[in-house]
A = this chain, B = another copy of it.
Amino acid sequence: MHRLRHCRGLACVFSPSAQSALKLKNNIPLASCSGLVSYCWGSRSSHQGQSSYYYSSWRPRLRYVLMSLVAGTGAVVAYGLHQSERAAAAVPQTVSLPVYTQEEVMKHCSLDKGIWVTYNGDVYDITDFVAIHPGGNRILLAAGGALEPFWSLYAVHRQEHVQEILSGYKVGVLQAEDCKKQEAANLVDPYSTDPPRHPALIVNSLKPFNAEPPPGLLTDSYITPSALFFTRNHLPVPQVDPNKYRLKIEGLPSGTMSLTLNTLKSNFPKYTVIATIQCAGNRRSDMSKVKPVKGLNWGFAAIGNATWSGARLRDVLYHCGFGPEVAAKARHVQFEGLDCDVTGMPYGVSIPLNKALSEEGDVLLAYEMNGEELPADHGYPVRVIVPGVAGARNVKWLGKVVISEVESECHWQQNDYKGFSPGTNWDTVDYKSAPAIQELPVQSAITQPVDGSLVDRRMEEVNVKGYAWSGGGREVVRVDVSVDGGKTWHVAKLRDNGEDEFPAPSPQPGRAWAWKLWEIAIPLPEGAEVLEVVCKAVDSSYNTQPDSVPPIWNLRGVLCNAWHRVKVKVN
């Protein structure tokens, strides 16, 4: 008896059927599902077709692989399965396999007819794998065609163990002529036009590019230099000609409006905010130490503080005709980037309308970062800056703004960047049950001393430095630091944009967008051989960081804001 699982997070739901192959409900054409992605783990399904690789035979191995595999948005993974056995059900290499034409492969592009793909001249029937693909049914985009363009986009797949999994689904080979055609097409690397990067960056993923600076550099400067600002790209960096650039505004009574870069710069007052942007996955590596999670293995430097200048989104919206008529119905502002996947699907998310419209929300259509044109990696020519809100909503290479009654339907709004209980696993997760991450919780981390370093006992003191920030414009009002693992606490000195003698005036409540740097010299406890240095910040709502990671662990490894801990030896 096979129990088919209902993937609650999917708009396209796999219908339970004991006899048939997995089907999309109502036979929705696959193409229409391209924007709908979910992660369906551990589905138990059978397929009576020619490649009957039962879930049961995969189970022990998949359990391990799936825990360490990473979603299809270009994330990097530590497979942790270097010596895995080959799939039990894999077709033996010695068996002579049928030869298929590209045309024949293309016919297998639905769950009804089976999902076939080609890779490196071989043909695979991955129908059974669809439901357990770590990247969700985004895999269906490749149905009937070659995997190479997608694996170029999501380079995480280019690993031995992924190919090993694939090999279990091999059903034939592609005829030589079609192989040649594919090879010619596959020569184009979508990342070939990505910009050069600073060599100091620690790269988490090259394609798409995801990197953070060495954390020690963060606290050297209140304003993070653009070249060292963490980069979180979901797709290749788009090439944008500033003269041809148009920002489209939709959902207003006047229809689609189209603004040139020059219009944005000339027709609207220029505002500047200092705002910290943090990736919702910052410190994921702390979470994956507890239990594997899915996502880029960020350290604690996926955060930076910059000066952003541009037109206010609210000014542009009112200019384009936003008024009471729209306000009566609209609730969200959707953003689309100019960065697209191979099917032309752009990066997209949304924010609540009241954040976009509020004078105190300070949402900018920024064309400058730290007083200069936006760098290519940070959204040239225009990035929406949504202060106090997760990096994912600060859409780079902004192409479109849509006023809407509903949230963005895109993957990154609906099926990613959400938080779940530690008790939620890939079998029970329901993406609809959690709100999209907008404001981030209070955060802090220690940039000095470095974990594992030595402190000289003769110094009598240990100097501790770090950053602290909170979402929603809530100012960090205190940072507590401990060198005994949290038994006793000292209050750090906070540093803002001003000088010591002339600190910057406190921002209006709810508009504290920038981080605080902090430092403190703490006397070495007598006789201590190891210091467990810990920090926790408190914001203006007196929210503070949770003590430990396990109770906030979540399967996507987002929102890691437990006390940051560093161990050093005294010698």
Residues A441 and B486 in contact, CB atoms below 8 Å apart:
no
In the assembled complex, which residues on chain B have CB atoms less than 8 Å from the CB atom of A360? 354, 358
Assembly CA distance A472 to B477 (angstroms)? 16
Known: A423-B490, A491-B423. A508 touches B437 (CB 8 A): no
In the assembled complex, which residues on chain B have CB atoms less than 8 Å from the CB atom of A214? none
Assembly CA distance A421 to B489 (angstroms)? 7
Looking at A438, A480, A542, the one whose CB has the most chain B CB atoms below 10 A away is: A542
In the assembled complex, which residues on chain B have CB atoms less than 8 Å from the CB atom of A536? 551
The residue that A438 contacts in the complex, of B471, B509, B544, B552, with Cβ under 8 A, is B509
In the assembled complex, which residues on chain B have CB atoms less than 8 Å from the CB atom of A424? 491
Assembly CA distance A355 to B540 (angstroms)? 14
Assembly CA distance A59 to B441 (angstroms)? 43
The residue that A540 contacts in the complex, of B358, B435, B545, B547, with Cβ under 8 A, is B435
* A115 in the interface (beta carbon within 8 A): no
Known: A489-B551, A509-B352, A509-B355. A541 touches B421 (CB 8 A): no
- Specify the main secondary structure of chain A where it touches its partner: loop
Residues A354 and B435 in contact, CB atoms below 8 Å apart:
no
Interface residues on A, range: 35 or more
* A422 in the interface (beta carbon within 8 A): yes
Residues B541 and A472 in contact, CB atoms below 8 Å apart:
yes
Residues B439 and A541 in contact, CB atoms below 8 Å apart:
yes
In the assembled complex, which residues on chain B have CB atoms less than 8 Å from the CB atom of A552? 544
Residues A423 and B488 in contact, CB atoms below 8 Å apart:
yes
Residues B542 and A419 in contact, CB atoms below 8 Å apart:
yes
Known: A355-B509, A509-B354. A442 touches B477 (CB 8 A): no
Residues B544 and A547 in contact, CB atoms below 8 Å apart:
no
* A440 in the interface (beta carbon within 8 A): yes
* A449 in the interface (beta carbon within 8 A): no
The residue that A441 contacts in the complex, of B491, B509, B544, with Cβ under 8 A, is B544
* A543 in the interface (beta carbon within 8 A): yes
- Residue ranges of A at the interface with B (Cβ–Cβ < 8 Å): 352, 354-355, 358, 360, 419, 421-424, 434-435, 437-442, 471-472, 474, 477-478, 480, 486, 488-491, 508-510, 536, 538, 540-548, 551-552, 559
Closest 4 CB pairs of A and B: A547-B547, A439-B541, A423-B489, A441-B543
Known: A354-B509, A419-B478, A421-B489. 11 other contacts (CB 8 A): A355-B509, A422-B480, A422-B489, A434-B477, A434-B478, A438-B541, A441-B542, A472-B474, A486-B551, A542-B559, A547-B548
